[in-house]
């Protein structure tokens, strides 16, 4: 069976139309190609509205999103591993965007780093291990724990030295 698209006017097979149950024939009036073009144009015209809506949703559903991310942590890791080159390419193409984001959120990043430093979060410790030349696949939970203990001991020694210097011991 065939149908005519109301936008482009081409007569196409019905599998080239989306299902639209409320219409007479059960198919959308626009073919899939025209629908895609329309959606692309609509998105471009209303980009700010969609961004604002997304921002509002994320603000209202912080806990829900946090829970979702925690639940699907492996999926995100897997995606990043599979699309490493794609993500690297995106970063290279959008260097300015990333620099701008960094500059805009400088205080947030400082606070996050400070928090990670104080709490010794796994992410912070992994970062320290990576900067010391250890490969990602070589970092084990045991190594992270040992590094945490090393950092805590180093901090304690530093505090004791400071106390000795100030004569508060």
**Of all residues in the chain, what percent carry a pLDDT higher than 70?**
98
Q: Rounded to whole angstroms, how far apart are CA atoms 31 and 14?
A: 9
| pLDDT for residue 167 | 77
Q: Rounded to whole angstroms, how far apart are CA atoms 91 and 120?
A: 28
Q: Which of 108, 126, 110, 111 is nearest to 151 (CA)?
A: 126
C-alpha count within 13 angstroms, C-beta hemisphere, residue 72: 10
pLDDT over 80 (residue 106): yes
147 token code pair: 């590094």
C-alpha count within 13 angstroms, C-beta hemisphere, residue 149: 6
Rounded to two decimals, the pTM is 0.47
Kindly report the number of other CB atoms within 10 A of residue 29's CB atom.
Answer: 16
pLDDT over 80 (residue 116): no
CA 55 to chain centre: 14
Of 69-83, 116-130, 144-158, give the lowest mean pLDDT range: 116-130
User: Looking up tokens 């209303």, which residue turns up?
Assistant: 46
pLDDT over 90 (residue 28): yes
Query: pLDDT of 50-76, one tens digit each?
Result: 999 999 999 999 999 999 999 999 999
Q: Rounded to whole angstroms, how far apart are CA atoms 127 and 117?
A: 11
Q: What is the mean pLDDT of residues 131-154?
A: 91
| pLDDT for residue 119 | 79
| pLDDT for residue 71 | 94
**Of all residues in the chain, what percent carry a pLDDT higher than 90?**
68
Q: Rounded to whole angstroms, how far apart are CA atoms 125 and 114?
A: 12
């Amino acid at each position: 069976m065939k149908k005519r698209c109301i936008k482009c006017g081409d007569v196409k097979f019905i599998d080239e139309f989306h299902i639209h149950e409320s219409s007479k024939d059960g198919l959308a009036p626009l073919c899939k190609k025209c629908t895609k073009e329309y959606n692309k144009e609509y998105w471009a015209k209303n980009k700010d509205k969609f961004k604002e809506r997304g921002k509002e949703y994320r603000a209202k559903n912080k806990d829900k999103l946090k829970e979702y991310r925690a639940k699907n942590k492996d999926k995100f890791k897997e995606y990043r591993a599979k699309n490493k080159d794609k993500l690297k390419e995106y970063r290279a193409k959008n260097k300015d965007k990333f620099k701008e984001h960094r500059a805009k959120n400088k205080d947030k990043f400082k606070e996050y780093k400070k928090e990670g430093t104080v709490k010794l979060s796994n992410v912070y410790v992994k970062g320290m291990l990576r900067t010391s030349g250890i490969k990602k696949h070589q970092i084990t939970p045991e190594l992270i724990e040992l590094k945490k203990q090393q950092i805590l001991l180093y901090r304690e020694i530093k505090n004791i030295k400071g106390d000795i210097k100030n004569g508060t011991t």
